Amino acid sequence: MTGFAARLPVTMIGRLLGLPEADDDYMLEWGEAAAPLLDPGLSWPVYRRAQVALRGLNEYLTAHFARVRANPDAEDPFALLAASGELSDRELVTNAALLIGAGFETTVNLIGNGIVALLEHPDQLERLRAEPELWPNAVEEILRYSSPVQRTARVAREAGEIEGFAFAEGTVISLLLAGANRDPAVFADPHVFDVARPEAKRNVAFGYGIHACIGAALARMEGVVALSALFERYPNLALDGRGTHRGLSTLYGWAHLPARLA
Ligand code: HEM
């Protein structure tokens, strides 16, 4: 996971934000420590570790933007934004931190979950070898079948009732995206992994409506590039024993995934 799956997402977001490559590993450590914050019911030590990591990131980004503001690189859109003075320091840092958290703690799971789904379904991998034009649809199917973000939430602006569930104004409602992605009313044989599934794109792995993921197009592209390149470069790639799951409830993915390349 850290040797391959995390590299492309961290590179994309790091360079997009104009952060130096030498700091990628620091970003990965920060992301790993902060990811449990999306889950309810954290233990105190996990919460404390996330808090310390966020404080570190806050200091790091504040110093970074102060530096680039003084001397902006014309090729770096975030540096130009910092120099323009349009956003306050706090707005810059919180938006950059959101992009870091949302931008690679999710995509790393798409790549890891895709590796496992394809190795567990060799007939599907064979099909992709024969019909590489199916890769974008295969990534939709991976998003549907092993959704990297299992749920999102909304706050009810008014009282209401949906499918017999009554709720008051202000209720926080947790929505199981991964459950919707196995809805038999939408997906025929929903538990079957099929890279050519015609309705795969109807998944809600990136959410829905006003808060739908702003990075969906980038993540889809990263999924296609990373997975197709990996399986082309290492046609005999195989899992080497069981991996370790991240053990989170909102983000669904692997912490370690030992594999043999040849
Ligand atoms: C496979 C990768 C990804 C998955 C599965 C994913 C999934 C999601 C989901 C489920 C949401 C909540 C949507 C909702 O509640 O309706 C979301 C929001 C968001 N995502 Fe992603 N995401 C991914 C990659 C990315 C990337 C690469 C970026 C940034 C470049 C990004 C940035 C964001 C942001 C900023 C939001 C908040 C949008 C808002 O609240 O208005 N995500 N994502």
Task: Report the candidate in 138, 136, 135, 149 with the shortest Cα–Cα distance to residue 204.
Answer: 149
Instruction: List the one residue out of 198, 245, 255, 250 whose CA is nearest residue 5.
Output: 255
pLDDT tens for each residue of 147-182: 999 999 999 999 999 989 999 999 999 999 999 999
- Position 6 scores a pLDDT of 95
Amino acid at 165: F
Q: What's the whole-number mean pLDDT along residues 230-234?
A: 97
- Which pLDDT does position 70 carry in this prediction? 86
State the residue for tokens 């889950």.
Answer: 39
pLDDT > 90 fraction of the chain, expressed in percent and rounded: 85
State yes or no: pLDDT of 69 exceeds 90. Answer: no
- Note the pLDDT of residue 119: 96
Instruction: Please say whether the beta carbons of 195 and 128 come within 8 A.
Output: yes
Distance 10 CA to ligand 1 centre (A): 15
The confidence score (pLDDT) of residue 91 equals: 93
User: How high is the pLDDT of residue 255?
Assistant: 95
pLDDT at position 78 is 84
Residues 174-206 pLDDT 10s: 999 999 999 999 999 999 999 999 999 999 999
Residue 73 has a pLDDT of 84
- CA 242/CA 104 separation, integer angstroms: 23
Of the pLDDT bands very low, low, confident and very high (cuts 50, 70, 90), residue 214 is very high
The token pair at 209 is 């409506």
Residue 36's pLDDT is 93
pLDDT tier at 72, thresholds 50, 70, 90: confident
How many A from CA of 31 to the centre of ligand 1? 15
pLDDT bin (cut points 50, 70, 90) of residue 224 is very high
Alpha-carbon gap, residue 50 to 36, rounded angstroms: 8
Residue nearest to atom 40 of ligand 1 (CA): 211
pLDDT tens for 5-45 read 999 999 999 998 999 999 999 999 999 999 999 998 999 99
Residue 77: band (very low, low, confident or very high) from pLDDT cuts 50, 70, 90: confident
Say yes or no: CB of residue 8 within 6 Å of ligand 1: no
On the question of pLDDT at 74 being above 90, the answer is: no
CA-proximal residue: ligand 1, atom 23 (nearest): 106
Residue 252 Cβ < 6 Å to ligand 1 = no
If one residue of 10, 113, 201, 206 were mutated to test the ligand 1 pocket, choosing by the most ligand atoms within 8 A of its CB, it would be 206
Residue 12, pLDDT score: 93
Q: HEC string of the chain?
A: CCCCCCHHHHHHHHHHCCCCHHHHHHHHHHHHHHHHHHCCCCCHHHHHHHHHHHHHHHHHHHHHHHHHHHCCCCCCHHHHHHHHCCCCHHHHHHHHHHHHHHHHCCHHHHHHHHHHHHHHCHHHHHHHHHCHHHHHHHHHHHHHHCCCECEEEEECCCCEEECCEEECCCCEEEEEHHHHCCCCCCCCCCCCCCCCCCCHHHCCCCCCHHHCCCCHHHHHHHHHHHHHHHHHHCCCCEECCCCEECCCCCECCEEECCEECC
Q: How far is CA 112 from the centre of its chain?
A: 11
From ligand 1's centre to the CA of 212, what distance in Å?
A: 7
Please write the tens of the pLDDT for every residue from 92-121: 999 999 999 899 899 999 999 999 999 999
pTM: 0.95
**Polymer length of the chain:** 262
Q: Establish whether residue 192 lines the binding site of ligand 1, counting it when its CB lies within 6 angstroms of any ligand atom.
A: no
- How many beta carbons lie within 10 A of that of residue 162, not counting itself? 9
Longest dimension (CA), the chain: 58
Count CB neighbours of 123 within 10 A: 9
Tokens of 75: 């090729």
pLDDT band of residue 1 (cuts 50, 70, 90) is very high
d(CA 106, CA 6): 10
Nearest-angstrom CA–CA distance, 62 and 60: 6
